[in-house]
A and B are shown apart, each in its own frame.
Chain A
Amino acid sequence: MTTTLSVENLRVSIPLAAGVLHAVRGISFEVARGETLCLVGESGCGKSLTSLALMNLLPSRAKREADRIALNGTDLLKLGERGMAKVRGSSMAMIFQEPMTSLNPAYTIGNQLEEGIRLHKGVSAKEARERAVYLLEKVGITAASSRLGQYPHQLSGGLRQRVMIAMALMCGPELLICDEPTTALDVTIQAQILHLIKDLQREFDMAVILITHDLGVVARVADRVAVMYAGEIIESGDVGEIFSRPTHPYTQSLMNCIPVPGKTAHGERLGTIPGIVPSMIGEMTGCAFANRCGYARDICLEPLVTRELVPNHAVRCVRAEEVAAINAGETLRAGSPA
Chain B
Amino acid sequence: MAIMNSTAPSAEQILGPTPGQILRRKIFGHRGIVIGGGIFLVIVLMALLAPLLAPYDPYHQDLINRMAPPVWQERGSWEHILGTDQVGRDYLSRLIYGARISLLIGIMAALISGIIGTVMGVAAGYFGGKVDLVVTFLITCRLSLPVILVSLAVVAIVGGSLEMVILVLGLLLWDRYAVVMRASTQQIRSLDYVAAAQAAGCSTWYILAREVLPNVMNQLIVVATLEFAHAVLLEAALSFLGLGVQPPLPSWGLMISEGRNYILFDPWLIAIPGTALFLLLLAVNLLGDGVRDVTVPENRA
Real complex partners, A and B? yes
Which chain A residues have a beta carbon within 8 Å of chain B's beta carbons?
A: 274-276, 279, 290-292, 296-298, 300-301
Residue among A291, A296, A300 with the highest chain B CB neighbour number at 10 A = A291
| Distance (whole angstroms) from the CB of B43 to the closest CB of chain A | 34
CA distance A234 to B2 in the complex (A): 21
Contact A298 B7 (CB under 8 A): no
Chain B positions 212-226 with a Cβ under 8 Å from a chain A Cβ: none
Interface residues on B, range: 10 to 19
Judge whether B13 and A291 touch: CB under 8 Å. Answer: no
Residues from chain B with Cβ under 8 Å of A274 in the complex? 7-8
Cβ–Cβ contact A275 & B9, under 8 A: yes
Q: Which residues of chain B have C-beta atoms less than 8 A from A296's C-beta?
A: 2-3, 5
What A residues does B1 contact at CB under 8 A?
A: 297-298
**What's the least CB distance linking B117 to chain A, in Å?**
33
Residues B13 and A279 in contact, CB atoms below 8 Å apart: yes
- List residues of chain A with CB within 8 A of the CB of B73: none
Residues of B within 8 A of A300 (CB): 3
**Distance of A208 Cα from B38 Cα, bound (Å):** 59
Q: Which A residue sits closest to B5, measured CB to CB?
A: A296
Structural contact, B3 and A297, CB atoms closer than 8 A:
yes
Pairs across A and B, CB under 8 Å, 8 listed:
A275-B7, A275-B9, A291-B5, A291-B6, A292-B7, A297-B1, A298-B1, A301-B3
Those 9 A-B pairs whose CB atoms lie nearest each other, nearest first: A274-B7, A275-B7, A298-B3, A276-B9, A292-B7, A291-B4, A296-B3, A296-B5, A301-B3
Residues of A within 8 A of B8 (CB): 274-275
Give the residues in chain A near B7, CB-CB below 8 Å.
274-275, 291-292
Q: From DSSP, what is the main secondary structure of chain B's interface residues?
A: loop
Query: CA A290 – CA B4 in complex, angstroms?
Result: 8
CB distance from A130 to the nearest CB of B (A): 44
CA distance A296 to B6 in the complex (A): 11
Q: How far is the CB of A208 from chain B (nearest CB, A)?
A: 36
Complex: A300 Cα to B1 Cα, angstroms: 11
Nearest residue (CB) in B for A293 is: B5
Q: Which B residues lie within 8 Å of A276 (CB)? A: 9, 13
Complex: chain A residue closest to B6, CB-CB: A291
Q: A275-B8, A297-B2 are in contact. List 11 more A-B contacts (CB 8 A).
A: A275-B6, A275-B7, A276-B13, A291-B5, A291-B6, A292-B7, A296-B2, A296-B5, A297-B1, A298-B1, A298-B3
Give, as a whole number of angstroms, the nearest-CB distance from A254 to chain B.
16
Binary contact track B1-25/A, C-beta < 8 Å → 1, others 0: 1111111110001000000000000
| CB-nearest residue of chain B to A299 | B3
Q: Which residues of B contact A290 (CB under 8 A)?
A: 3-4
Q: How far is the CB of B256 from chain A (nearest CB, A)?
A: 45
Q: How far is the CB of B100 from chain A (nearest CB, A)?
A: 42
**Measured CA separation A274–B5 after assembly (Å):** 11
Q: Give, as a whole number of angstroms, the nearest-CB distance from A302 to chain B.
A: 11
Residues of chain A with a CB closer than 8 A to B13's CB:
276, 279
CA–CA, A275 and B9, complex, Å = 6
Min Cβ gap B32→A in Å is 19
| CA distance in complex: A274, B8 (Å) | 8
Alpha-carbon gap, A279 to B16, bound state (A): 14
**How far is A298 from B9 in the complex, measured between Cα atoms in Å?**
19
Docked complex Cα distance between A301 and B1 (Å): 12
- The residue of chain A having its C-beta at the shortest distance from the C-beta of B8 within the complex is A275
Distance of B293 from chain A, by nearest CB (Å):
16
Given the complex of chains A and B, what is the CA–CA distance between A276 and B2 in angstroms?
A: 18
Chain A residues contacting B2 (CB-CB under 8 Å) are 296-297
Q: CA of A237 to CA of B7 in the docked complex: distance in angstroms?
A: 29
- For residue B226, give the distance in angstroms from its CB to the closest CB of chain A: 29
A2 to B8, CA, bound (A): 46
A274 to B7 CA separation, bound complex (whole angstroms): 6
Residues of B within 8 A of A292 (CB): 7
Q: How far is the CA of A185 from the CA of B295 in the complex (A)?
A: 34
Bound: A275/B5 CA distance, A: 10
- Of chain A, the residue at the smallest CB distance from B3 is A298
Q: Which residues of A contact B6 (CB under 8 A)?
A: 275, 291
Bound Cα distance A279, B6 (Å): 15
Query: Considering only CB atoms, which chain B residue lies closest to A276 in the complex?
Result: B9
- Within the complex, the shortest CB–CB distance from A57 to chain B, in Å, comes to 24
Contacting residues, chain B, for A298 (C-beta < 8 A):
1, 3
B271 smallest CB distance to A (angstroms): 42
CA distance A86 to B6 in the complex (A): 50
B78 shortest CB reach to chain A, Å:
50
B23 to chain A, nearest CB (A): 16
For the complex, give the distance between the alpha carbons of A275 and B168 in Å. 62
A178 to chain B minimum Cβ distance, whole angstroms, is: 30
**Bound Cα distance from A276 to B4, whole angstroms:** 14
Docked CA distance A301–B3 (Å): 9
Kindly provide the distance from the CB of B265 to the nearest chain A CB, expressed in whole angstroms: 55
Cα distance A300–B3 in the bound complex, in angstroms = 9
**What's the Cα separation between A297 and B8 when bound, in Å?**
17
CA distance A70 to B3 in the complex (A): 40
Complex interface: chain B residues within 8 A of A275 (CB): 6-9
CA distance A296 to B3 in the complex (A): 7
CA gap between A296 and B2 in the complex, in Å: 6
**What is the CB-to-nearest-CB distance from A291 to chain B, in angstroms, rounded to a whole number?**
6
Give, as a whole number of angstroms, the nearest-CB distance from B9 to chain A. 5
Complex interface bits, B28-55 against A, C-beta within 8 A gives 1, otherwise 0: 0000000000000000000000000000
In the assembled complex, how far is the CB of residue A51 from the closest CB belonging to chain B, in whole angstroms? Answer: 27
| Bound CA–CA A118/B9 (angstroms) | 53
